Structures are given as C-alpha cells and as structure tokens.
Structure 1
Amino acid sequence: MQRPLRILHTEAAMGLGGQEIYIFRHMVAMRARGHDVSLLCQPGARLGALAQANGFIVHRLRMGGWVRLLRGIDRVAALVRSHRFDVVNTTSRRDALIAAAGARLARAPLVVRSRHLMSPVNSLLTYTGLPHRVLTVSRFVKQQLVARGIQEGHIGVVPPIAMPPQWHGVRGPDPWQCLQDTRARVRAELGLEAGDVVVGCVAVLRRPKGHMDLLRAIAPLCHAHPWLHLAVIGEGEPVMTELRTASQRLGLQRQVNLLGHRSDAQRLMAGLDVFALATHKEAAGTVFLEAAFVGVPIVATRVGGVPEMVREGDNALLVEPGDPTALTTALQRLVEQPELRRQMGRAGWDWMRSDDRFSPVGHCRATEACYYQWLEELGHV
C-alpha cells in the first residue's frame, strides 16, 4: 500500500440492501488498512446509523429536488475543501449528481462513480461528465458500461467482500466442525427433523429476485417429498403476501417457511441443504459467496455477474432464466442426491478459503490499485 487516503463515500438510499452492505463492508475493510474513511448520506438513512454505530464520521445531507441539488453541491464542495479528501466515491444517481459536482468544484483529486446494478445506464452524466473514473462489481457490468460508451480504461472491477461466518458461541480448532455444530443448532431452532432437506433463499423480497419462480419450481418436488422444505429469508411487500397466498393455493403451507428479515441470515444459511436464487438480474451477488462460505451448494440463474460469483459445476448449478423445467431439474438433483450436496458444498467452502479476491484484504488491494493508478494518471502522486 502507498500512502493512506482520505476517502468520502456517498449514498442517497435510505434502506439497507445489498449495495449499502457492500459500502459498509468496504468502509470497514479500508479503515482496517489504515485509510481515513467517512460517509455522506441522507438523514435517517440506515447505512448512516450503521456506520456511525461503528465509529465512522457521518455527514448528512438531504438529497432530491433541484433546490437541494444546488444547495448540496455547495455544501459538498465546502466539505471536500475542509477535509481535503483524496477520493470522493459516489454511488447512486442522486448523490452522484450532488457529490461529484461538489467534489469537482472543490478540485478533489479523484472523483469515482460506483456501479452496483446491471440495469441499463440512461444518462452518462454521472459516469463520464462528473466523475473521473468508474468502479463496478463484475466484469459483466463493466462490459455493459463499455457498450454504453464509457472508456474501458476508465473502469475498474472490484468484487464484493465475502465475510467469514460468525458462529456465535460455537468454538473449536476445526472450522468445518464449527460449521457442522452451527448447522445442528440452526436446524434444531427451525424445528427440522434429521431427514428433512431445506432449500433456502436469502434476498430482499422484490419481484426481479425470482421468489415466485423458485416457489413454482420447487412445488412439484415438495408434493413428491413431504420432507422437503423451502425457507425464504427476507422482507418486502407485495412479494411476501404473494408468496404466502401462492403457498396456500399450492397446499404447501407446512413446507414453505417465510421467515422475514433476519439479522443472522448467514448463520441461518449454515442450516440449509441447498441455497437457491432464481434472480432475473444481478450485478454480482454477495449472497452466493456467503452461501459458499458456509458450505452450501447453490442453484441459480445464469444472469449478469452471477457466473463470476460461483464455480459452475463445482459448487453451483446454473440454469437459464425463464426455464422453469431446468430450475426444477437442478433443484431435484441436489434435493435427491445427498452425496452431491456434500461434495459441492465442500467445494464452495474450500474455494472461499483459497481465493483471495473476495476477502477483505483482497478487496482492498483491488480498490487501492484502482485509486492509486487513477490518482497517478490524473497527476496526483
């Protein structure tokens, strides 16, 4: 690492989804590397509360509307000048308009726009007009941006961080045995029998995540195997109501468990037999890394950056989106073959412990490489 950097991250979102968790983990990891990291967000934002509770300096600014935009640009410019940030890293369109413009007005050495989504880019202003460079989470999204007209050399790729699981009270020298002990505890908490097989999904309940596709695909398997269960971890309407209604209509109330939001989602994942997510679009997908980290085999759709977050055929089975028969077949393979589940789960476990790209240190090194290279290119050594 070269000299420590003063970094300001900005985010306009009020909730705490995958993008915000990515930012928080990134901030924690970069601080551990010796960088001075701060956050600019809206008042009441859950990310701001989380960051402040973990000792970060949090600046708050209301965003949205032309009046706030113009006032916000001046406030950000003053903030950047007073704190002399080396890097201002924006995330969403609203904060990018305000913070990137303010940072450029204050002559910040490096202004970066992060891209965590795979939806089409409408305006290039917050990708080429205001920031100097762009960071994204997968090669897939990078190619999308290049196709949209952003210069390839101005885009860096930094995958998300996969955090090691916290076993909460389970101790021992053998991590694999700790996993097995946690698995037994979780399954007991969920009231599962020894022969039960659980397919689980962890994702915010939004229609593009494909929860209904997953329910329809697993329904015939549940009817054929009374010991098969589907556990859905996540919150969000109207999808929660749609899932509850559909499970009742299919006669699967006993086998479909809608657990809502759980702060211990990764611990619960250790109790699954299979992780499944039939997402329609995904820029990357940290949850696939977390499933691998707890030794759970994966069934997912081959979309966006998902193939970069798994090892297809090794720890994951991928199917084309919109193919319910293929999704049912992939689930059936793992549901009915315990030895295949064990082999693929162990393959993911071993991969997460041997590939440095998704570790906090590997993530920081990739980020630093982009920041330092771009600062040098822009004349700030």
Structure 2
Amino acid sequence: MKKNSSPLIVHTDWSRAWGGQEIRTLTELREMNARGCRTGLIVPEDSELAHRGRQEGIPVYPVDFSSKFNPASWLALFRTIRRIRPTVLNTHSSEDSWMAGCAARLCRVPLVVRTRHVLAPISSALSYNAFPQVIFACSEAIRDQLVEQGVAARKVVVQSTGVDEQRFRFSERDRQDIRRRYHIGDQDILVGNVAFLRHYKGHSFIIKTAAAMPGNYKFMIVGGGRDQPMLEEQIRAAGVEDRFVITGHQEQPEVFFSAFDILFFSSYEAEGIAQSFIQGLLYGMPLLVCRTPSILEPLNHVHTYELIDYNDLDAACRGLHALSTRRGRDQRRIDRQRQAIAGKYGLRTMMETIVRTYGEHGVAVG
C-alpha cells in the first residue's frame, strides 16, 4: 500500500492531562503507524498528547475543545477535518466526542469511532447513537452500562487497552535495584500500587492501611499528579513517612512491579480495566483488590488474590497478612497466568480487534 493512499487514522481528545486514556490513544496511533497507516491528533495545543505526539512525529492539529459553545473551535474543527480528510476519526472525551463526532459525520468521514474508557453513568445516549458507527468499550461492565442507558448494543465492541507483555515481565535485577534505591530490605514486605494520582484511585485507603500494619510492611505508590502533596501530608499525619514512598511520575513503571511483593489495587469508581492493573497481573504477584465491576473481569485468570470493599480497613489488613504467606514465585503458575492475560488483554489482541473492526466497516489496514 502506498503511503499517500493508506488510511488516515485521526484521534481527538479534550484532555490536557496524561493518564491511561491518553496512553492508549498514543499507543494506538503508534501501532497504526507501524502497520503503514497515516495518523494524526486533533487535540488542544497545550495538551500532553500534543507534546508527546509531536515528539513521535505524529501530526498535531490544534483545536480547543473546552466548550461546545465556542464558534471558533467549531470553525477550526470543520476546517481541519475538511483539509486532512481522515479515513477514521476516533473520539475519546465528552466534549470532543460531541464536537468532533458531529463534525466528522457532517464532513462524511467514512468511519467515526468513540472509545469509552470509564465506568460512569452517561448524561445522554444521543451522541453515542447519532455520531459513531463503532464504540469501543474498555470493559464488559462499561458495555453493559452503556446498553442499559440506551446505547445501541450493535455498535459496542469490548476491547480493553492492550498491554505490551514483552515490556512488563519480572526481572530480578530490577527488583534489587529498586529495593536498594528506596531502602527496602530483603525481609520487608513491599506493598505497591502504580497509578496516576487521582481521587478515585483510592490512595488514601492505602495510607490508612499502612498505618494499621506492622513495621515490616513498606508501601510504595508509583505515580504522580496534582494529588501528590495532599497524599504526602496524609502520610505524615498517619506517621508512616519512614515506610511509605510516593515516587512521582515514572516513564518506566515496569521496573517497579518487579520490586513489589503484593500489589494493592485500591481504585473504587470510574475505572475501566486499568492498564496498570493488567500490567501487574503479568508479574504473577499476590493481589489485594477493591471490588469494582470492571476489575473483577480479569480476576478469572488470576490465582492469588483477596477481594475487599473500599475503606474496609480490617479486611485490608487481614488480606495483606494472608497474602504475605503466599508470596512464593511458582514459575509454571505465573507462566500460565501471563499467557491467559496476554491472550485477552495484550497489545496484539487489542490491535487485532481494532483492525478487524475497521475492516468490517470498510477500512482496510495492512
């Protein structure tokens, strides 16, 4: 396929932040580039996606999606879509899905797609039913919620964000390096969490749990965000600053998973299937998991875990004590778990689903 005749895959997003949603967008575009497609981003000029997209050579077309009632944004959007003529336009957040979804249909873009990342009630099914031909839901629970709220079931394709299983694998060298860097002893039990610091990630619950556990339990949150100063103050107030660290944002989270003994997934609302959760499952470590509908789905493939309710401190402590006795690495069991997780939630599986779905709607990707 000649480059100038290859499909042009364009993603839009209102978001200016950097998190799992934006990582998925950039990952899809990177993978489509590798398959010979042209790609582009229609995003705010000051967004992280704009910055990182340009770094990877992805064309960026700035549009301010801050309000559906901004005529200048609508004008810029129509001009951009008519000029670049995308084959596929994939929207992500509420504002850009209304605006870009509508503009794409009026400009007769061959395939309009929306990705729904979060498990939260929608305000209206109108934009879902009127604009996209395909809706990618990041979990079964998200699909079910959309359908219950009036979104046409025939449009919804379930595909969680794919994780690169080659990148996320246990390394004894990484384990030793990270534990040495943060002064974690061989006899310490390191309870870890990897996430952007947002309220629904439940990190305050981890801090409360740390304060109730014995001193040989150390805690680490790998991630950054605006909530970091608030969480660090909670750590000081709880008196656990000597055994609790927040690393700040890390571009290579894979090296930290190897250092953990137990993964504590504390999110309590709005999650699809978080990328960091799937990444953690590839390491085969014991899991302490707060019940949320989307997160229950991958646990069918997991051997060692304890389920608790968010903010149930007694259950969290009991769970950590129980999991601490089950930390041995059974490589055969871990290999089986990795194979099952990669088969359903791996990057290759995600791209195969997307390419197949495009093809079903007349867009061939080489």
Give TM-score, length-normalised by structure 2. 0.89
Cα pair distance change 1:316/1:366, threshold 3 Å: farther
Distance 2:316 2:123 in 1: 32
Do the aligned residues in 2 keep the contact of 1:9 with 1:88 (CA within 8 Å)? Answer: yes
**Counterpart for residue 292 of structure 1:** 281
Deviation of the 1:316 alpha carbon:
3.3
Matched, 1:352 2:344: no
1:52-84: CA deviations, max 9, x gaps?
11121111112223553x333343333333333
Matched, 1:235 2:208: no
SS of 2:306's partner is strand
**Counterpart for residue 250 of structure 2:** 262
The one-letter code matched in structure 2 to 1:192 is I
Distance 2:334 2:189 in 1: 19
The one-letter code matched in structure 2 to 1:189 is R
**1:211 aligns with one of 199, 203, 218:** 203
**Counterpart for residue 148 of structure 1:** 149
The one-letter code matched in structure 1 to 2:290 is T
Distance 1:77 1:258 in 2: 43
Distance 2:141 2:45 in 1: 33
Deviation of the 1:42 alpha carbon:
0.4
Cα pair distance change 1:197/1:47, threshold 3 Å: same
**Counterpart for residue 369 of structure 1:** 356
Distance 1:241 1:120 in 2: 30
The one-letter code matched in structure 1 to 2:360 is Q
**Counterpart for residue 60 of structure 1:** 62
Distance 1:108 1:270 in 2: 45
Distance 2:277 2:332 in 1: 14
Matched, 1:198 2:187: no
1:162-215: CA deviations, max 9, x gaps?
124659xxxxxxx76xx1122112212222222111101111222211111122
Do the aligned residues in 1 keep the contact of 2:223 with 2:249 (CA within 8 Å)? Answer: yes
Do the aligned residues in 2 keep the contact of 1:90 with 1:100 (CA within 8 Å)? Answer: yes
Deviation of the 1:365 alpha carbon:
0.9
Which range moves more in the overlay, 291-300 or 120-129?
A: 291-300
Deviation of the 1:297 alpha carbon:
2.8
**2:292 aligns with one of 297, 300, 303:** 303
Distance 2:181 2:83 in 1: 52
Distance 2:130 2:187 in 1: 58
| RMSD of aligned Cα (Å) | 2.5
Deviation of the 1:305 alpha carbon:
1.1
**Counterpart for residue 172 of structure 2:** 180
1:329-370: CA deviations, max 9, x gaps?
22221224433xx24x87455433453333322111111222
1:240-277: CA deviations, max 9, x gaps?
34433333333322111122222222212221111112
The one-letter code matched in structure 2 to 1:160 is T
Do the aligned residues in 1 keep the contact of 2:16 with 2:48 (CA within 8 Å)? Answer: yes
**Counterpart for residue 172 of structure 1:** none
Do the aligned residues in 2 keep the contact of 1:89 with 1:114 (CA within 8 Å)? Answer: yes
Matched, 1:125 2:126: yes
Which range moves more in the overlay, 248-257 or 308-317?
A: 308-317
Distance 1:200 1:110 in 2: 41
Cα pair distance change 1:71/1:97, threshold 3 Å: farther
Q: Percent identity?
A: 23
Deviation of the 1:29 alpha carbon:
1.8
Distance 1:82 1:25 in 2: 25
Cα pair distance change 1:66/1:338, threshold 3 Å: closer
Matched, 1:273 2:261: yes
Cα pair distance change 1:211/1:41, threshold 3 Å: same
Cα pair distance change 1:159/1:328, threshold 3 Å: same
Distance 1:361 1:33 in 2: 12
**Counterpart for residue 170 of structure 1:** none
**Counterpart for residue 314 of structure 2:** 325
The one-letter code matched in structure 1 to 2:314 is T
The one-letter code matched in structure 1 to 2:89 is V
Distance 2:295 2:310 in 1: 12
- How many residues are paired up? 358
Do the aligned residues in 1 keep the contact of 2:9 with 2:88 (CA within 8 Å)? Answer: yes
Give TM-score, length-normalised by structure 1. 0.86
1:305-325: CA deviations, max 9, x gaps?
112234465143322334332
Cα pair distance change 1:80/1:251, threshold 3 Å: closer
**Counterpart for residue 92 of structure 1:** 93
Do the aligned residues in 2 keep the contact of 1:11 with 1:95 (CA within 8 Å)? Answer: yes
